[in-house]
Each structure stands twice: as structure tokens, then as C-alpha cells.
Amino acid sequence: MCRACVNPLIAHPSLFTQPGGYSSLFKPPTRRGFMATAVAAAGVAGSAVPTARGARAQAAGATTGAAAAAGVDTIFRGGNIVTMAGDTAAEAVAVSGGRIVGIGAAADVMAMATRDTRIVNLQGRTLLPGLIDPHNHTALSSLYLELLTDVGYLRNRTRADLIANLRQIAANTPEGQWVMASNFDNLLQGGDLSRTELDSVSTTQPIFVWYTNGHDAAVNSQALRAANIPEDVGPMPGGSRFGRGPDGKLDGRIFEMAAMLRVISVGLPRITPQLAAQAVNRYMQAAAATGNTLLHEPGTMKSEWIEGFSQISNTAPLRLSASLMYEDMAGFAPYRHLGLGPRAAQLPNSMLMLYGVKIVGDGSNQTMTGGQTVPYLGGTATGEPNFTADQIKQMVAGVQAAGMPVLIHCNGDKTIDFALDGIEAAYGSSAAFGINRIEHATILRQDQITRMKRLNVEPSFLMNHVTLYGAAYRDQIFGPARTAIADPAGDCMREGVRFTLHTDSPCSPLGSLRLVQTAVTRICEVDNSVIAANQAVPVRRALEAVTLDAARQLGLADRLGSLERGKEADFTILEENPLTVDPTKIAAIKVSETWVAGQKKFGR
């Protein structure tokens, strides 16, 4: 995971073919130039998503009445329809103009059909509201996956597997080209890599291996030579440095952006507009294949990318949503007329929406940089918040003054104390500007949950922490007592605090069903142990966290998250019903189709 959210190094302007970096690629000089790229990308993404002009202003009853008179576009029937709207049951759903216009008994819904209505027979499959990932770094994830080979824990469970895989990659890489790998996890894959170990993979080809935390890397001797890194290289700004062993010589470790940029800028091919568009659309297609119909990018989308991403959204297979970083908050100015605040603001003629403002409060627990009130296991280090309590109060007050909700990255409970102090001082218990969120909220005490309820603040849990790092939390990082309050969905449920689940991709794999399974089972796949069993939640509650509550936390409660008349027709169709299968098999359920605004975007 990350030391201070996702490292934006992969989007550094120097890695692109055009001045300005990512922003120049998504703000092309001419409409003709953009359309050429968009048409090429559409081949990856699928057909264009229709826009929803003025749909929110229509009354659900009027929409239904018009559809009944003119017939409906599509009817879904013949399977399990899970509405996520309380105990509401349904046998069929009717869609027109991208919205749900009828839902209920099959006979009633079928009465709306004409000879032109498409009937989708679910054939026993399960139809759900579209799955939503409320914290996903789309722009950066796409480039990571496009440009570097994933050698992480899910692909290489042992150190021997990792080294063998790197040797195979090196053997398949043309002579003189770099081996560029990512997602290495020192916590799960046998400790840090070294120059010597990577020299055993190849002494003729440069090798760069990026850690999954985004802030460390390891290289071999040939990479140091190719990048012209001298043995006497000194430290650089921002804590950047090249690591040294006990003998004082470079050991192959690289820390932070400035140092990594000196190497990666030599090894990576320059990013072209065509490659960037392909990467973004390929990534979104992969997300749609896991059942997602909406991804929210918290903070790592820059304001200068908004216009370009709004255009890309029209060829995307899912909806996009974004919040800006606190330091970039002024970038919302051109979009205030769209109604930023408690509801998401949708850009005209696009499928991109804007929501809130993000503050990165601390680092990660895997690198012991999350700000804790209790020392990490086996030492005195507690990590530290990135800002003082007063600084966080000032920042949160600035977000409130702008009339928007705040999303604060907090992995440690000390940082959560600071965040809640800031929210209470600025907002009190008001959610008039939207739902204020604590992102990750990994170590969350019971008294903080009680306080969150009083303040109408909600957490969003990176539940893959449990499945990947649960055993490490218990045995290496926190100890059993502190691990008992890691990602405490069960305590939140008992207190009546709503929550969501997210992947934080690229920090953990795509797929909301995996999050649901882990929230229900609390199984750590590293050793198959159950982590804090009392924090498990029922399947339905976990599904609400990636549908109904995810929509609410993004200002979209009136549009998405449940199957109801007047809401947008975003659906995920599964081969099996997650409410009835063995909970340990939920992540393995096949995603059959995804539909966005009444259009099929993925599936047979």
C-alpha cells in the first residue's frame, strides 16, 4: 500500500512526449486530434455511453407514464433481481431512455412492452445495481498496468516464484531493453530486494522493480549504469535517496520520487497520446469486467485533466467520478455553476461527475507511517500525521467554506482524531454539503465510531487490507489486540454508522466482489486465518457498501445504488447470487454483463 496515498510519479510530465504531461494528452490542440484518439480508444472501450440531459429534473411518475404510453426499450426478467431497496422484491425491470421506468411483478412490467422492446432473459442469473468503487485511482492505475509488468503477491506467492518470473521476463525482453516491473510487496514476498539478488536475474539487462507502496524500488547493477547513477550519489529533496548496504556501497534500493525518476525516466518508453488513451480505456474495460459501473478517483485526478476526462468518459464502459486534492481545490472554480455540494455535479454531455476535496492525513500502516496513538509492534514508533491538528482544522475549514464535503485519508487512529476534530470544528454534525468521509480508516476505535455517528461522518474501508495483510497486522505490525479493530465494519454496523468498501487500485486488485467476500468472511488468504471475526458483516450489508452506500457517499443517492423507478439503469449481472452462494466463493462469481444507462458495456 502507499506511504502517502498513490505516488503520482507515473504521471510526471517528463515521462510524456508532449510538454505538460498528462494534461496535454487530454486537452489536445484540436477537436480533430482528440476525435482521432477517441475513435481509436472506442475500439477498446465499446460503444458510447448516452448522456442523461435533464433527467434528474423529471419526476419518476412522469417518466413511467411516458414509457407506458410509448413502450419501453428493454425489459429484464427470468432471474434473481436484487433491488437493494429495502425488502422490495421484483421479477422484472423495464428501462427506457437510460432509466428504470418499471419494476415489480413480471406481468405488470411485461404489460409495458411493445414489439420493439428488447427482452433480456436473465436465465437464472442475478441482476444487481451496478457495483461502485468509491476510491480508485483510475488515471494512475491505467499507466501502471500498461507500462509495467505486475509481479506482485497475487501472481508470485513465493520469493522463488518471483525470481523465476523475473528471469523469464528478462529472457523474453529484447537485448538492451529494460525489464520494468511493479507491485512487488516486500511484506508478503520475502523482504526487500537487493542489487545482488537482481544481478542474479540478469547482469546485461537493466531491471527496475517498483514496490506496491509506490515509494520504493529496487534495481540491478546494469540499471544503475544505464541511468548513470554514480556510486557517490548523494541525497535529494523530499527524502529521495539511493540506498546503501553495510559496506557503504549502493545496494539497489531507491526511495521516493526524485531518485526513482532518475532511473525510470531512462527505462520507460515515452508516453504518447495514443498510449495514454489506450491505457485509460483498457483499465476501465478491466474494471467493467469485474462488475463495476462507476469508479471514483479521490484526489489523484488533477483539475487540468477534467475536461479531457469528460470527453474520454463518453467512450468509456462505465461512469467516472472525481474529487480534487486540497492543494488543487481552486481547480473546481470553472465547474461551480454545475452545483457542486451535496450532489455530484455532472459535466454537460459527459459521464464524468465531480464531488469533494481530499486531504492526505498520513501514510500507511504497512510502512509504519500511519499516525497511531499506540506504538507499532516491537518498538516505540507510532508514525505521524502529515499535518498538525491545527493545520488539518484549517484545511477542513477551507473545504467547508467552499461548500463541499471533505475526504480525509487516515490509516492511523491518531490521524482520525485530528480529522474528526477538524470536521467537528468546521461542519459540526451537518451533512448539508455532502457526506464527509474518512478514507481507509484502518485502525478505528469504538469511541471514534460513536463520534462519527454523532457527526454524520462515514468511513470507507480498504477491505483488501484484511485479505492481504491481516496476518501481518496481527503478527508483525499491530499485535492481536489492535488488529481486532482493523477495518472494523462490524463495529460500525452495530453502532449504526454506514460505510463503503473500496480497492484503492493500484494499491490492491480491482473487483468489488472480492471486497464483499472479505467483509463477510474476514479471511486472510496468506495463511487462511480469520482476522477479527467479530468485525464480519452479513452479505447484504457488504453489498450495500458497494452499491447503495457507495452512491450516497458520492452524492448520487438519487440516481444510483438501488433498483427503483426513476433511477439510472446501471446494472451488474452475475452468474450466481452472492446472497445464496458459499460466502468464501463470492469473489469467484463470474460477472456476466455490466450495463450503464441502459446500454450493455461488458458481456456476451
| pLDDT tens readout for residues 150-177 | 999 999 999 999 999 999 999 999 988 9
Buried b / exposed e over 443-481, threshold 16 CB at 10 Å, is bbbeebbebbbebbbbbbbbbbbbbbbbbbbbeebbeee
In a domain, 519, yes or no: no
Residues 499-509, mean pLDDT to the nearest whole number: 95
Can you say how many angstroms the Cα of residue 240 is from the centroid of all Cα atoms in its chain? Answer: 27
Residue 229 pLDDT: 97
Q: Kindly state the average pLDDT of the residues 437-457.
A: 98
How many residues are recorded in the chain? 604
Give the chain's mean pLDDT: 90
Supply the pLDDT for residue 274.
82
Q: How confident is the model at residue 9 (pLDDT cuts 50, 70, 90)?
A: confident
Res. 63: pLDDT tops 50: no
Rounded Cα distance between 25 and 3, Å, is 28
pLDDT at 26: 56
pLDDT of residue 311: 86
More confident residue, 129 or 18: 129
Instruction: List the one residue out of 339, 293, 355, 299 whose CA is nearest residue 560.
Output: 293
pLDDT beyond 80 at 309 = yes
**Three-class secondary structure assignment of 206-251:** CEEEEECCCCEEEECHHHHHHCCCCCCCCCCHHHCEEEECCCCCEE
For residues 299-317, average pLDDT: 89
Three-class secondary structure of residue 459 per DSSP: strand
Looking up cell 460505510, which residue turns up? 499
Q: What pLDDT was estimated at residue 214?
A: 83
Give the whole-number percent of the chain exceeding pLDDT 70: 90
Q: What is the DSSP letter of 100?
A: E
| E strand or H helix at 450 | helix 446-455
**Could you report the per-residue pLDDT of 460-485, keeping only the tens digit for each?**
999 999 999 999 999 999 999 999 99
Domain membership flag for residue 328? no
CA distance 30 to 55: 31
The CATH number that applies at residue 229 is 3.10.310.70
Which domain range does residue 191 map to?
Answer: 8-33+140-267
Q: Does residue 235 lie in a domain region?
A: yes
**Ranges assigned E (strand) in 462-544:** 500-501, 523-524, 529-530
What is the maximal distance between C-alpha atoms in the chain?
82
pLDDT band at 31 (very low <50, low <70, confident <90, very high): very low
| Gap between the Cα atoms of 144 and 203, Å rounded | 25
- Please give the Cα distance from 212 to 190 (Å, whole number): 14
pLDDT at site 272: 85
Contact between 575 and 76 under an 8 Å Cβ cutoff? The reply is no
> What mean pLDDT is predicted for residues 91-97?
98
Bridge pairing between strands 74-82 and 126-129 = parallel
What are the C-alpha distances in Å from 391 to residues 388, 395, 400, 421?
5, 6, 14, 11
pLDDT at site 89 = 87
The answer on pLDDT for 130 being more than 90 is yes
Set of cell numbers at residue 239? 527524502
Instruction: Identify any residues that bridge with 292 across adjacent strands, giving them in sequence order.
Output: 131
Q: In this predicted structure, what is the pLDDT of residue 346?
A: 94
- pLDDT per residue over 172-227, tens digit each? 999 889 999 999 999 999 999 999 999 999 999 999 999 988 889 999 999 999 99
* pLDDT value at 604 more than 90: no
Residue type, 297: E
Positive or negative torsion for Cα 284, 288, 294, 296: negative
Q: What percent of the chain has pLDDT over 90?
A: 78
Rounded to 5°, the CA angle 73-79-85 comes to: 80
From CA 111, how far away is CA 119, in angstroms rounded? Answer: 12
pLDDT score at 68: 47
Q: Which residue has the higher pLDDT, 140 or 150?
A: 150
Nearest-angstrom CA–CA distance, 139 and 545: 23
3-state secondary structure of 355: strand
Mean pLDDT calculated for residue range 66-95: 88
* pLDDT tens, residue by residue, 252-291: 999 988 999 999 999 998 888 888 888 998 999 999 999 9
Measured between alpha carbons, how far is 600 from 317 in angstroms, rounded to an integer? Answer: 9
Per-residue CA distances from 251 to 68, 195, 597 (Å): 71, 5, 53
Residue 167 lies in a domain: yes
Count the domains in the chain. 1
Answer yes or no: is 177 within a domain: yes
Q: Which of 16-30, 231-245, 529-543 has the least mean pLDDT?
A: 16-30
pLDDT score of 45 more than 60: no
8 A C-beta contact, residue 205 and residue 178:
yes
Q: Which of 439, 574, 577, 37 is nearest to 272 (CA)?
A: 37
- Residue 95 pairs in a beta bridge with 74, 100
Whether 65 has a pLDDT exceeding 50, the answer reads: no
Tell me which of 52-56, 92-96, 106-110, 359-363 is least confident.
Answer: 52-56
CA distance 509 to 464: 8
Q: For residues 529 and 585, give the distance between their C-alpha atoms in angstroms, rounded to a whole number.
A: 16
Cell (9 digits) for 417:
482524531
Residue 198 falls inside a structural domain: yes
Domain presence at residue 227 = yes
Per-residue pLDDT at 278: 87
Q: 154 near 503, Cβ under 8 Å?
A: no
Average pLDDT in the 526-547 region?
A: 98
pLDDT confidence tier of residue 104, bands split at 50, 70 and 90: very high
Rounded mean pLDDT, 490-498: 98
Q: How far is CA 176 from the centre of its chain?
A: 35
CB 362 within 8 A of CB 411: yes
Residue 65: how many CB atoms within 10 A of its CB?
Answer: 12
Residue pair 259/240 in contact by the 8 Å Cβ criterion:
yes
Q: Which of 427, 468, 444, 450 is nearest to 370 (CA)?
A: 444
- Give residue-wise pLDDT tens across range 392-417: 999 999 999 999 999 999 999 999 99
